[in-house]
Structure 1
Amino acid sequence: MKLLLVTAGSRGDVEPFAALARRAAANGHEVRLAVPDNSGADLTGLDVRSLEADFSALIESQGVSPLAAMRNLREVVRPVMRGVIVNAAHAALEFRPDVIAWHPKVLSAPVAADALGIPHVLVELVPAMTPTREFPAAGTVTRDFGPFNRLTYRAASAAAGMFRREVDEAADVMGVGHPHPASAPAATLLPISPAILPRPADWPDSVSLTGAWRAPARPTDPTDDTGPTPTTASGDTAADPALADFLDGGPFAYAGFGSMAAGDPVERGRALVGAARARGIRLLVATGLGGIAVPDELRGDDVFVSRAVDHAAVLPRAVAAIHHGGIGTVQAATAAGTVSMVVPFIADQPFWGATLQRRGLAPAPIPQKRLTAARLADALGAAPAFQSAVDAAAARMADEDGAAEAVGVLERLVTRPTKPALRHP
């Protein structure tokens, strides 16, 4: 199978696709991964094609405010989206895959697949496109509207209409001119654990809630008795001995808001340090793309600050994880058996904060504009009450192999008869 994976966004949008690429390659498939630049994800050993778009630079310059994005749609956002949409078509034409799996921002993927006469698979990193009565689309509202929840899923199609010109340009790349409505996905994959989000009963059979996508374990030499080889990803314990010493120094809480550059990062840093010290807990801070800043006068032996850390090395050892509620961090913390303190900023993050609270996996989320040392200290004090539920969820997630299940779906699609291409590029 020749598999083209195309994603867009920041690190949390790229890492699941990289894990799927590694799993498919380990199964003997030829895989190309088309991604934005400078995501921060570990892409070593993968066949990577740049989409010539940099979402990290966009976030660092514009922040994560939806209003700012709308104000700068023409000058800033549209050029980035054009890179994704048009270059995804070029990637498909160059690679000529048997199937394309795509992020919802890659609006040209269905057009490219139809032009090549191959199936395409939608990857919903968050449940925002497949309607259900059981909950509203992630990123819209958190209130449950019962049977009217399905109406909230129309927002995704409305947003797609903003980039029709770029999709038409991608169609020209594929040689099909102005496209007719593209075909529906042959399947939909959600790399989310049922331990966090149970599968809705009204989803069609073509939708698979696979579990989180994790890369296959790297093979080890059975004659080597020195233990697992440490990774060298940016910010991990192998690359930073000072971090390793901090982790070995006793209980600590982790705090990181990923790419959430918004508001006053210094005040946020003060609240985090104040809450940890109020509870007598050491604090490990990952500043990410600027969501947290810790002033020098607040630093000490009980506070360690790094731009990024390896979640796999850090979260299993943390007593709590204070984060923005992105699904990648939600699943990483839960799989590690670490209670989350969700501080949502935008988009799907309030959804995940509310979901964890409703399922008894975390205390109530604290919106980032209401974050104070006192509120966070109370949440940290409540964390032990959620530990048994998180441990049970972690045990369920340990038995999942979401990437393997996703590869199985893709393999079955490729064995079906293909439809004729719209043209022969």
Structure 2
Amino acid sequence: MRLLLLTSGTRGDVEPFAALAHRATAAGHEVRLGVPENPGVDLAGLDAVGLDVDFHRLVAEHGISPWTAVRYFRREVGPGMRRMLAAAVRETLAFRPDAVVHHAKVLTAPAAARALGVPHVLVEAVPVLTPTGEFPAPGVVHRDLGPLNRSTYAVGRGATRMFRRDLLRACASLPGGNTGAVAAALAPPTATLVAASPQLLARPADWPASVHLTGAWHDSSPGAALEPAVEDFARSGPFLLAIFGSMAAGDPLARGRAVVGAARAHGLRTLLLTGWGGLALSEDCAGPDVLVRAGAPLDLLAPHAAAAVHHGGAGTVHAVARAGVPAVVVPFLADQPFWGRQVHARGLGPAPLSRRRLTTTALTAAVGEALGCRRRAQEVGERIRQEDGLAAALAVLEDLPAHP
């Protein structure tokens, strides 16, 4: 089976697709993976092509926020999306796949698949496009609206309308031209793969049968290893792990000070992963009980932690939960408040803590609550480790009809 996987965004959007590409290739399928430039993910051994947009550079220079997207839309975000949409069409026509599996940002994927007469499969790491009455669209509304929950999912379809002109321009090169391209982009996919663990997200009863909650797409790299100094620190006693990924808004020094203070209040050491600048260590907080690194493989590091403090990104939530470690979620934007609520609802940590209220006092109390959730976290982690989301996703793809 020839599978074209298309993703776009930052590292968290690329890693699951790379894991699926590795698994599908190992199963004997011919796989091509389309990714943004400079994805920050090891793609060795994969047939990977670039999609002419560098989200890493955009985030590194301007940060991640809705206001960033608006401010730099005309100069960078819009042109980047335009190039990516056209590149996705180009690579689909070049590869001639039997099925197109795509991230929601790749708006031209459904039209390209339709033009070739093959199925297209939508991937949701966060369930933002499949309506349900059980909770509002993550990232759109942060509280239950009851009977209005389903209506919040209309917001997710707005991207198709926002980029309508670019979508039509990119699809003009398709066989038959761009007629019906917008309708195809809005039409239901042949199947939807929600790459999340049922331990963190119960499958809504009103999802259609074509939507599959597969479990997270996790594939440990056999060559991954912790830096010796990090491994020595991790094995030398309990510590608080803190990571905020690409979330750099606000004062990273103040956050670092709060994390170190909360850890010391509970007799813990601190390991700060600074990522793209979300955390920093001030000189007055330095000491032998604190280690700072830009990053480290979470799957290898997290199991050694007593608890974690993080931003609530889908990938980080799953990595920490898989490790059996309780967490304090400090959400910044988008789907992060949703995952923070899921962590709390499942007894894996306290209620999400606002980043604007991230003081040493508040975090000390939250870490105390998290430490009390350790047994529950270990139980859930064991169940997550038994899941094989990649196998479940591949089974759906192998069972797709030859024509949509």
TM bucket normalised to smaller: over 0.9
Name which of structure 1's ranges 289-298 and 331-340 shifts more when overlaid on structure 2: 289-298
- TM-score w.r.t. structure 2 length? 0.96
Contact 1:141 1:351 (C-alpha < 8 Å) held by counterparts? no
Please say if 1:319 is aligned against 2:323. Answer: no
User: Which SS does the other structure have where 2:172 is aligned?
Assistant: helix
User: Which SS does the other structure have where 1:31 is aligned?
Assistant: strand
Indicate the residue corresponding to 2:63 in structure 1.
63
> How far off is 1:216 after superposition?
7.0
> How far off is 1:299 after superposition?
2.0
> How far off is 1:417 after superposition?
3.7
- Give the 5 Å matches for 1:26-425: 26-180=26-180, 181-182=183-184, 183-215=187-219, 231-232=223-224, 236-237=225-226, 240-413=227-400, 416-418=401-403
For residues 334-381 of structure 1, give each alpha carbon's deviation from its aligned partner in whole angstroms, at most 9, with x where no partner exists. Answer: 111000110100000001111211222210111212211111111111
User: Which SS does the other structure have where 2:217 is aligned?
Assistant: coil
For residues 52-89 of structure 1, give each alpha carbon's deviation from its aligned partner in whole angstroms, at most 9, with x where no partner exists. Answer: 21111111111112122112211121122122211111
**Distance between the aligned counterparts of 1:217 and 1:210, measured in 2?**
20
Give the percent of matched residue pairs that are identical in Structure 1 and Structure 2: 51
Gaps of 5+ in 1: 219-230, 420-425
For residues 290-323 of structure 1, give each alpha carbon's deviation from its aligned partner in whole angstroms, at most 9, with x where no partner exists. Answer: 1111123422211111111101110111111111
For the aligned residues, what is the CA RMSD? 1.4
AA of the residue aligned to 1:346: L
AA of the residue aligned to 2:248: A
> How far off is 1:409 after superposition?
0.5
Contact 2:235 2:304 (C-alpha < 8 Å) held by counterparts? no
**Distance between the aligned counterparts of 1:290 and 1:404, measured in 2?**
35
**Distance between the aligned counterparts of 1:130 and 1:418, measured in 2?**
22
Contact 1:59 1:261 (C-alpha < 8 Å) held by counterparts? no
Contact 2:138 2:338 (C-alpha < 8 Å) held by counterparts? yes
For residues 147-190 of structure 1, give each alpha carbon's deviation from its aligned partner in whole angstroms, at most 9, with x where no partner exists. Answer: 21001100111132111122112202324433311042100000
Q: Residue 294 and residue 216 in structure 1: after superposition, are their counterparts in 2 closer, same or farther (change >3 A)?
A: closer
Contact 2:331 2:337 (C-alpha < 8 Å) held by counterparts? yes
AA of the residue aligned to 2:63: G
**Distance between the aligned counterparts of 2:220 and 2:40, measured in 1?**
20
Gaps of 5+ in 2: none
Indicate the residue corresponding to 2:23 in structure 1.
23
> How far off is 1:217 after superposition?
7.3
Contact 1:56 1:259 (C-alpha < 8 Å) held by counterparts? no
- TM-score w.r.t. structure 1 length? 0.91
